[in-house]
Structures are given as C-alpha cells and as structure tokens.
Homo-oligomer: A and B are copies of this chain.
C-alpha cells in the first residue's frame, strides 16, 4: 500500500483528487493540506512515500516544500502538480530534485500513472511542459534588469525603484532603456506584457 500526501490549495480539486486516489486499491491518501507550511510539517512527520504538491499555495509554495524535502533528506518522492509551465518553476523543480512534474492539463489517469512510474523509480516530466519550455523565448534580461522589471511591475517610478534596489536614478533608467530595447518595446507596460507572456516573471 502506497502512502500519499496531497497539497493543493483549491479545495474542489483537493477533495476530488483525495477521494479519487483513495479509490485506487494500492494507494492510500494519508493527509491533505491547502497550504505549504502545513504540508511540509505533516510530510516531515508522516513521511509518505509520495507527496503531490501544487506550486501556488499560501505561506509556502510547493517548490519551497520540495526544496526542503530534498535538503532534509526525507525519503518522500515529490510530484509537482501545477497549471503553469513556467521556465523558472521548471528550473527550480529540477534543482529540488523532484521526481515528477505534471500539468493540471492532464486527466486524472495520467496522475495515477505518474504516481506508479515514480514509485517505480522513474523521473517523469509532462511532455507538454518540456515542449513549452523549449518553445518559450529565452529570457534575454540580466539579473539586474529582471530585478528592475519586477519593481516596475509594482508601479514604482524610477526614483522609487532606485531606492529599492540601491542604485542611482539614472542607472535604473538605463536598465529600463536596455530592457525596452531587448524586448523590442517602447514603454514599461509593453515590456511587462512581453515578460509576462514569456513567463519571465
């Protein structure tokens, strides 16, 4: 009997999956949570064989939980289950040594199948995910530029951004100029739109 822990913040999906997985005769859902913090502490305590983690959850993201599980050397195998095929998420997941990464864009059968494959020792990544990652525009922005772009998103003006990131106003504006030229845009909002479309932020 395989023990499973499920962390998913959308109640409807959480309860639906918990019930469904429980119906499989070799799977046993030993706990569920709707936030990352609860999930982590219960996983540490209960040591399930498999943890299914959503990414976007309150308090602690599924990726943070995965990272902790990895660092603490807990034997639980992790499957990330998410809506988003973001490059950043994917990279973080790989770093955290997750055993599976499945998109919610798949039927439940696929989840069950993935659980079995992961139990079998395989590492499984959704093919659509891999395709998306490959076809996404590679982020041409430097660390600093990305940092500035994130500040832009909050609606700050150049001076405020400068204060936040400890740079001069002029430097910030130079970075923005560079961001615009790299994204082929001519205003902050356009640049944000491009970055969001390509999942850079």
Contact = CB atoms under 8 A, between A and B. Distances in A.
A13 B11 contact: no
B104 A155 contact: no
Contacts of A105: 10-12
Nearest to A154: B193
A197 to B, nearest CB: 11
User: For A14, A108, A153, A186, which residue has the most chain B Cβ atoms within 10 angstroms?
Assistant: A108
A157 B104 CA distance: 37
Nearest to A19: B20
Given A11-B107, A155-B193, 8 more contacts: A10-B104, A12-B17, A12-B106, A12-B107, A16-B20, A154-B189, A155-B187, A189-B189
Interface of A: 10-17, 19-20, 81, 83, 104-109, 111, 152-155, 157, 185-193
